[in-house]
Structure 1
């Protein structure tokens, strides 16, 4: 199964989460944006960006490596959300939903990582068209 990057649900969810967080961070005061906002946005944006970079790589091992970077960015995003919540920059309902969504993205990301390089998996040679002559 060869999906386009934009068709991968994990990618779609990571992109959507970054936009939701952006819409909150953009309203913070300068100090909060400078101290936490920039770091939070870099982390959450890196989730999808690393999926993109890995998807464009020719070798499975490279794709997986960038997926691991994406997973690291997911955990970094959680840390910055905890700090934002502790400092009253996001409310508890927003925080709880973000954490729930990150957990779901993490499961999908792990499943995607495990599928990379497996025949018929979502990550089957993403840079190459399918070979129907095998």
Structure 2
């Protein structure tokens, strides 16, 4: 399976790109601390989906999708901290939040589909 064709992967990649675009506008201290954290967690979602598909077994793939889901939750945490510390506006958060809300059920659906026919 080619992970690049997975809608869930594309959505995760989009989340990472949106986070990146917003973080690049920050001052050095914010980028170097919380900016690195939220960027890593957001990018880790798509990276884990990609790595899972390359592992070769359904069990390994599922394990990495679970890690992707955990990274999504970590990203939610960092987004809350970013907002609380006034590093993003409501408008900026609203660019990211809907992607995250869509991604959670898609990750679960993908996880449940692994190992079933047509996969």
What is the TM-score of this pair, normalised by structure 2?
0.95
Q: Deviation of residue 6 (structure 1)?
A: 0.9
8 Å Cα contact 2:3-2:53 kept in structure 1: yes
Unaligned runs of at least 5 residues, structure 1: 125-134
2:105 aligns with: 107
CA RMSD of aligned residues (A): 1.0
Q: Deviation of residue 4 (structure 1)?
A: 2.1
- The number of aligned residues is 119
Runs of 4+, deviation exceeding 3 Å: none
Deviates more, 1:41-50 or 1:86-95: 86-95
* Deviations, residues 15-74 of structure 1 (Å, cap 9, x unaligned): 111111111101101111112000001100100000010010111000000000000000
Q: Deviation of residue 94 (structure 1)?
A: 2.0
What is the TM-score of this pair, normalised by structure 1?
0.85
Q: Which has the higher helix share?
A: 2
Unaligned runs of at least 5 residues, structure 2: none
2:89 aligns with: 91
1:20 aligns with: 18
